[in-house]
Structure 1
Amino acid sequence: MDITNDFMDECFKAFVLEQFCGNHGRIQTGDLEGIVSLQLANRRFCSLKGIEHFTSLEELDCSFNNLTELDISKNTNLIKLECNGNQLTFLNTDRNTKLKKLFCNKNEIHSLDLTANDQLEALDCGFNRLRHLDISHNPMLTKLVCYWNIISELHLEHNINLKELNCSYNSIFDLDLDQNTSLMYLDCGNNYLISLNIHNCTNLVEIRCNSNHLKNLDITRSRVLESLRCFQNHLTSLDLSHNPLLIELYCSENKLSELNTRHNPVLKQVEYGDNLFVEPDHTVKGMGTFQYDSSLCYYTTTLRHKDKELSVTAYVPAKADMRRLSPVIRKTWEHFDQLHHRAIDLIATTHPDEDVTELVLSELGFHEDATIRLGYDAGNTPAGQLCIYVVFNHELEMNSQFVYETY
């Protein structure tokens, strides 16, 4: 049977003729029998009319085209559909009862009825215009991504197999995950949350609940937690004593009066500025006192070198880190003139056209890994103010490679 005229988009028609019809000029139903996969992404198709004749189709990727509608009602064997990055306002999957993976992000979809898709395992409907999302008929769901919509409620009590949830950038006030005990990854940031129940989510590895209105956050049962981002909330306390695997913590801009990390031996990255506590000043013998900057979460002081002020910064967030770095800081200052001359010589050798007498020593920085950087202001460039950094390790051995930064 000749079905050529059912293909309205000339580009789609040409694609089918070339790929499946040997370019003999007409499309017959027999040409399309048994085809189980179509990869149509980024082809500028405006219509997929004619897709209904691919009745054996199991996988369709038509992402990043110019589609305003998509009728897959005849593609009842479809298991995976990707239609991201189009202009779809509606998507009907009632007849696609075998569907396991649906990716329809970056469209303009206002509603999504998934009641017929009880085999669905993965759904990504982010960057749409959804106000409601009912997934109570999708018990097999393990991954749900619905960020950047206008969803105000999300009920997940029927999705007990869920392992990954990203519902960030919505309008959700309350999120109860009491039944989602398999959950490993959670991103609910940038909502209006005043309540987040993760008490039974004992498998969580990563939590992102930043930029909400949370006053409480109970992670005492999240013993395998490795990453927590809870900044920009209203937390007054945070118990980390049951999270021994925690690697990174971002809890800035809360109302914390203390933070105890003694039970977090592998914690590497911490940011906790703009809370109600500050780290105490730290004195390094022979140099002076470093003061803690709570807005930047590190220590600073100003010293004099050759009758000029020198900004000295220790890029560490806690008094304990300062104690650890103190021997390196002290040793550096004791040999500072020598380091300065070595740095200038290296710059002069590497940049023979540079007048090193014009360089201004502007910064001495100490980092968590015990590396040391001497910063030299090299003046204005078309890209901005140029600073050349010479790097030394904790043994005061100089790296031959510079770091260049513009401001």
Structure 2
Amino acid sequence: MTSLLLASLTLTGCGGGSSSSSSNTGGNNGNETDKTLINSLEFADQNLHKCVMAEAENRDLTYAEEIYTLNCSELGINTIDGIEQLTELSSLDLINNNLQQLDLSKNSELWYVDAQQNEIYSVTLPHSNQLQFLTLTENALQTIDISSSPNLERLTLANNKLSSITWGDDHSAMTHLDIDMTLIRTLDLSLTPNLFDLSADSIPLNDLQTVPLNKLDTLDLFNTDIDVELSHFPNARAFTLTPLTDTIDLSGNSELKSLGVYGEALTSIDIANLTKLERLVIWTENVTDIDLSSNVELTNLTIGPLSLNDLHIDNLNKLEEVDVSSATLSQSTIDYLQAQSVSKGFSLTLLP
């Protein structure tokens, strides 16, 4: 779900592709006699060397210590050996290269790293409190150790063969975690007490250890078959769930505005207390009755491949879109919905 990250950060520099970055200012420059001339730097990869030289030329820089941001997207870079010479580097963009290893252990000033769409199987992060944003989507990671980066706020690891994450003792700074389409089986949310957004689509998760997370806003477990103690997320506004049981308890989630429920296990659902709900998707085969009488804020309703004898929406006056094209409905219900669509002015999608 990840898509991605930080529209408010705009990286500039050499290389193609879009990216994000901070401005090239700040840092402790020290005396000029202590600095390293950029034209004396050596890199194992010529494409990385060209990127650094272009950054220096574009910004009229002389010393390595003056390079704070580096955008080297889509340049065919195979290795970042030598990157440790850029001791003040704070923002690094390496999207869509040919990297297999990412050793940033000596770059302790880094706070933003985006190395998605590579072939990375090994990552070494700096022992630093600086790193806040790390994106490694679409790589070859099987494990990753983030214990040296306690101040990570956004961690995006989607589309990897990732089976384990080594955590530190405290990741209370983390607000966004994306592990979509990985191989993660266990996750302990007590390590991330301030989490705002968890995306764990399509993974074999079978052990989700939860604690009350009052700041959690979005929980996305689409196509991840697991039951969760939803009462631990009382202020959440968006759930996407694939439960294993025939019912789910939403009694403690009255702040929900968006709910998607999928899978074959569900046979009944009670959403009477979700009076703020605006978007509802019920995509299951075995639910036979849906009471929407209390959900007067609904604007978007999607009913999946199930059979309903009736569907009452008389008091849903804010509806904008209703999609029942995958549902099996009686002719009387279809006639009723068509009449409601005309009178209320919402878009209705029926079985072709």
TM-score by length of 1: 0.66
TM-score (norm 2): 0.76
Aligned residue type for 2:113: L
Matched with 2:340 is 324
Residue aligned with 2:186, SS? coil
Change beyond 3 A, Cα 1:297–1:134: farther
Q: Distance in 2 between matches of 1:256 and 1:146?
A: 30
Equivalent residue for 1:147?
A: 180
Deviation of 1:89 (Å): 0.2
1:64 pairs with 2:80: no
Q: Distance in 2 between matches of 1:369 and 1:80?
A: 44
Change (3 A) 1:169 1:81: same
Q: Distance in 2 between matches of 1:90 and 1:370?
A: 50
Aligned pair partner of 2:268 in 213, 237, 245: 237
- The answer as to 2:321 corresponding to 1:261 is no
Post-superposition offset of 1:368: 5.8
Partner Cα separation in structure 2 for residue 245 and residue 295 of structure 1: 25
Distance 2:63 2:42 in 1: 14
User: Are the equivalent residues in 2 in contact too, given 1:204–1:225 (CA < 8 A)?
Assistant: yes
**Are the equivalent residues in 1 in contact too, given 2:41–2:85 (CA < 8 A)?**
no
Q: Secondary structure, in 3 states, of the residue corresponding to 1:33?
A: helix
Shift of 1:21: 5.9
Distance of aligned partners of 1:295 and 1:20 in 2 relative to their CA distance in 1, 3 Å threshold: closer
Correspondence 1:214-293 to 2 at 5 A: 214-275=245-306, 277-279=308-310
* Deviation sequence 1:115-158 (CA, Å, 0-9, x none): 11111111001111111224453121100001111111111112
Q: Percent identity?
A: 21
For residue 296 of structure 1, report the CA deviation from its aligned partner. Answer: 2.9
Q: How many residues in Structure 1 have an aligned counterpart in Structure 2?
A: 303
Decide whether the 8 Å contact of 2:105 with 2:126 is kept in 1.
Answer: yes
> Which position in structure 2 is the counterpart of 1:88?
120
| 1:168 lines up with 2:201 in the alignment | yes
Q: Which residue of 2 aligns with 1:110?
A: 142
Distance 1:370 1:90 in 2: 50
CA contact (8 A) 1:271 1:297 kept: no
CA contact (8 A) 1:214 1:233 kept: no
What whole-Å deviation, never above 9, does each CA across 1:67-122 have from its counterpart, x for those lacking one?
A: 11222111011111111111100101142432111111110011111111111111
2:64 maps to which of 17, 32, 35? 32
Decide whether aligned partners of structure 1 residues 257 and 19 sit closer, same or farther in structure 2, where only a CA change above 3 A counts.
closer
- The 5-angstrom pairing of residues 3-402 of structure 1 reads 4=40, 6-20=42-56, 31-135=63-167, 137-193=170-226, 195-210=227-242, 212-275=243-306, 277-279=308-310, 295-296=326-327, 300=331, 314=334, 319=336, 321=337, 324=340, 369=346
Is the contact made by 2:283 and 2:303 (CA closer than 8 Å) also made in structure 1? yes
- Distance in 2 (CA, whole Å) between partners of 1:178 and 1:276 is 37
Structure with the bigger RCO (C-alpha within 8 Å, sep 6+) is 2
Structure 1 residue 269 displacement after superposition = 2.5
Residue aligned with 2:280, SS? strand
> Runs of 5+ in structure 2 lacking a partner?
1-35, 313-323
**Letter in structure 2 aligned against 1:324:** Q
The 2-side partners of 1:371 and 1:85 are apart by 39
SS at match of 2:177: strand
Label 1:324 to 1:50 Cα distance change in 2 as closer, same or farther (>3 A): same
Question: What is the alpha-carbon distance in structure 1 between the residues aligned to residue 211 and residue 306 of structure 2?
Answer: 29
Please give the alpha-carbon distance, in whole angstroms, between the structure 2 residues aligned to 1:199 and 1:228. 15
**Hey, what's the Cα distance between the residues in 1 that align with 2:90 and 2:216?**
28
Q: Distance in 1 between matches of 2:236 and 2:50?
A: 49
Contiguous gaps of at least 5 residues in structure 1: 282-292, 302-312, 329-366, 373-406
Q: Return the offset for 1:323.
A: 5.5
Alpha-carbon distance between aligned partners in 2 of 1:130 and 1:36, rounded to the nearest angstrom? 30
Label 1:225 to 1:298 Cα distance change in 2 as closer, same or farther (>3 A): same
The Cα of 1:254 is off from its aligned counterpart by: 4.3
* C-alpha contact (below 8 Å) 1:41/1:64 kept by paired residues: yes
The answer as to whether partners of 1:205 and 1:226 remain within 8 angstroms in 2 is yes
CA positional deviation for 1:49: 1.9
| Aligned residue type for 1:124 | T
User: Which structure would you say has the larger Rg?
Assistant: 1
* Inter-partner Cα distance in structure 1 for 2:106 and 2:239: 41
Instruction: Describe the SS at the equivalent of 1:151.
Output: coil
